[in-house]
Amino acid sequence: MDTKQRILDEALTLFSQKGYANVYVGEIAQKVGIKAPSLYKHYKSKRAIFDAIVEQMSESFAKQASALNINGTDAEVDAGIYKTMDEKHLIELGTNLFLYYLHDDYTSRFRKMLTIEQFADKDLADTYMSLYFDKPIEYQSQLLGLIVKQGVLVTDDVKTMTLHFYAPIYQLLTVCDRDPSREPEALKMLQDHIRQFNKLYGRTIS
Amino acid sequence: MDTKQRILDEALTLFSQKGYANVYVGEIAQKVGIKAPSLYKHYKSKRAIFDAIVEQMSESFAKQASALNINGTDAEVDAGIYKTMDEKHLIELGTNLFLYYLHDDYTSRFRKMLTIEQFADKDLADTYMSLYFDKPIEYQSQLLGLIVKQGVLVTDDVKTMTLHFYAPIYQLLTVCDRDPSREPEALKMLQDHIRQFNKLYGRTIS
DNA sequence: CTTGACGGCTAATCCGAATTAGCCTATAAT
DNA sequence: ATTATAGGCTAATTCGGATTAGCCGTCAAG
């Protein structure tokens, strides 16, 4: 990774831990292994570093999203998968999703940074909501909708069902973001959540 | 309200909008109607203002909590209320809770401030989680537990059920915090949520 | 081989925001 | 009546952190 990229990387780490205003450019430089003024050979200001992070992340998310949309069509083909979706599979799916979001270096640092900075900047707030509320709800709604079509889960309100699935997962995620030592507890709660979700919406009930 | 208190009040407003680091003492002073140096007749530093806010809020929450605990016992007496708890009542209860949290001046500003500042300070993170995760879950768990005892709702896992009730509400709250214009949409989703929650856990199903 | 861009460094500079100094008025207590 | 205190003001002061200036070595292209 070249210096220019490493600056973004270290800066993202620091911003996510302490917030933009509490990070000194000298600190970023030190982590990269250079002196503060040298940063300016790569970015014209501290703010430019922040903006570059946001832009790069947005690109990366957009790429991911369009990849998902491409699969969106053959998701219908893949829907067969969900015909056999039992509780164990559902838990596995949810846990993996959760752990990915929690531990994936980029997404987790970016999420924390946005959490801190969103209130300073309306654009960031919009980005935050899109990434962590609207898009996930929409995507998972599609997915769960398929499973409902398969008759594995039953509801007449897929959107609310999706909220029921996603909101607890996201909340547990924020718990771990704030206090990583609570991860085991959160994982336990996550699994209980999915188990109960499955029971509540499962074919057998209604 | 005397000047000393007004400083806390205006500072809280500003901190909740822009975050501690982005607020200048002169700004606080201006809102109060005095000049920046005069602030120092009341608090010895900017940080001291912040700390005073946190302390006062913590006290206020503690008071509220102990009041709830006192009622905790006669909650069992009041449990009769929940025998007749139907969907309409449940929605009303949830909506009121939601609107209170959303609009109550102090709690909403404080919540936003904590959201921003929690990562800079472990103590704040703990405060945040206690106030917006552990305590609400615990309290609502008690409440829902009573309703389960009455046989109005049915589950063998009250804690997860509480998460199912609370997490969506909290998530919708954060949506409105970030973008007040989405309040109507959020209220609609809130009501759908409670309706569906009631259907899922209601006596009639199992 | 020499030149220019790249990326690093040290030593200023700049600047803004927190804080302090020191003064003034009003009011309340002795 | 005097005086102390509270609480306000203007004018410094301080200070730390972002940024700029200007220098230097390296290395690839001509």
* Full set of structural domains in chain A with CATH: 1-53 (1.10.10.60), 68-200 (no CATH)
The separation between CA B123 and the C-alpha centre of its own chain, rounded to angstroms, equals 18
- Alpha-carbon span B194 to B200, nearest angstrom: 10
B42 touches strand C (CB under 7 A): no
How far is the C-alpha of A46 from the C-alpha of B64, rounded, in Å? 43
Say yes or no for a CB contact (<8 Å) between A18 and B119. Answer: yes
Q: How far is A192 from chain B (nearest CA, A)?
A: 7
**What CA–CA distance (Å, rounded) separates A21 from B21?**
6
Helix, coil or strand: residue B34: coil
pLDDT in tens, B101-158: 999 988 899 999 999 999 888 999 999 999 999 999 998 999 889 889 888 899 999 9
Residue A159 CB partners (closer than 8 Å, separation 6+): A137, A141, B189, B192
Residue A96 in tokens: 């993996």
Residues of B (30-49) placing their beta carbon closer than 7 angstroms to any atom of strand D are 33-35, 37-38, 41-42
Alpha-helical runs (H) found in B40-182: 46-78, 80-83, 87-103, 105-117, 122-129, 135-149, 158-178
Instruction: Give the SS3 label for residue A24.
Output: coil
pLDDT tens-digit map of B165-181: 999 999 999 999 999 99
Nucleotides of C under 7 A from a protein CB: 6-12, 16-22
Under 8 Å between Cβ of B154 and B198: no
DSSP helix/strand/coil, A153: strand
Could you tell me the pTM of the whole model?
0.92
Percent of chain A with pLDDT over 70: 91
